[in-house]
Amino acid sequence: MAIIYGNRSTDNVLQSNRWRDIAPVIFNLRPDETPFTVLASKIRKSTTVDPKFEWFGKEPRSDSDAINDAGGYIAGDTALTVDNADKFLPGDLVRVIDGTTGAYEEMIRVTDVNTSTNVLTVERGVGSTAAGAIADDDILLLVGDAQPEGSDIPDGLSQLATEYYNYTQIFRTSTQYTRTFLQTKLRADDSEVKKRREEKSREHKRKIEKMLFWGERGISGAGGAAPNRKSGGLYWWIQQAIAGGVDNTTNVGGTMTEAAFETFLETKAFEYGGKEKMAFCAPHMISFVNNLERGKIELTNMENEYGINILQWHSPHGTLNFVRHKLFNYGIFSQAMMIVDMDEISLRYVGDSDMQFRTDIGVEGQDSYTDDWLSEVGLMVQRPETLALLTGVTGAA
């Protein structure tokens, strides 16, 4: 038995005998961290009858190509090597644009196309501008076709659709309670089971949110093992767009001016897709937006129907709805802005819904109960080129 001399204080009493003043709830230090999942709950969702779901995308015929010959050509040359001869048909009119100055130069007319060698046979100076020198990387802008009177039916040109696919990914989150725990009254929270269910529900949503941004498509489990599928997220689809020839990413690597940001909007963010998009931002990026010169823009603060705080930026190129994303904390995403056209996004799921909750699941004979959250869901990005990514912004210049 301990002996206490002198004054009694809160430090020298039996600590477990103290009746601590504990708040009747356990406060959540972080509010909802899944704005994309919240917003996606309102976009197109549909079931898939197979864990591998597929779709097709198709872009219109390209408007331009470029000369591909380091030596260039003089006015009399009629065989021109280009990057992609399969963009052209006999009869096409093509305007030559200086690749350095941007000056519009002579008009040429295609008379023959060799797709195996990427060589066009052309008539030079068919308009009012005389034929002149053509340099490597000069732009060839298609401006229609010109067929002679009484001509035969011209050749057709069709573009095959691009096939895309993704997988659904299985997410499971569970929590267990012993029978004794369920019968025990807690000071800190008398509704512990309810709170645990809320916490696990948020945890489950965060798992899905992270996949939707950073998941990589893949499948394992060959040789008779159970398949384990992974769904490709937005960042993975940006990489696929780059591999396909469309790079809508910009790494600033320092401070950014309003003019540079407008260039990003013009050439990357709104090059493809609709004129209103979501911009999911690291907390740091919201400060960047707030510090830009606002003389030519309208910046409003609104609370939308989803309960997410949004800053709306109106520019001549389109409208961006900025959403602060607390999970943008690591690597390049700590200074990043992800541009998403929500009209190009949909969620595909297997089963009755994209998230199922089963309660009081117990193994027979086991003195405990289990709650289980189950989702089998994947991301469908109809056209990956509608996505854009801005990184490396340290501040506003």
Q: How far is the C-alpha of 88 from the C-alpha of 65, rounded, in Å?
A: 9
Closest among 328, 304, 299 to 314, alpha carbons compared? 299
Q: Given this model, what pLDDT does residue 55 score?
A: 86
Q: Given this model, what pLDDT does residue 392 score?
A: 93
Q: Given this model, what pLDDT does residue 147 score?
A: 81
Q: How far is the C-alpha of 397 from the C-alpha of 390, rounded, in Å?
A: 16
pTM, entire model: 0.73
Q: In this structure, are residues 318 and 276 in contact, taking their beta carbons and an 8 Å threshold?
A: yes
For each successive 10 residues of the chain (397 residues), what is the average pLDDT?
Answer: 56 51 40 67 74 78 86 95 91 93 94 94 94 95 84 64 86 82 64 78 89 94 80 96 91 89 92 92 84 59 62 85 88 94 90 76 72 89 94 86
DSSP 103-127: -EEEEEEEEEEETTTTEEEEES--S
Residue 117 has phi, psi (to 5 degrees) of -110, -5
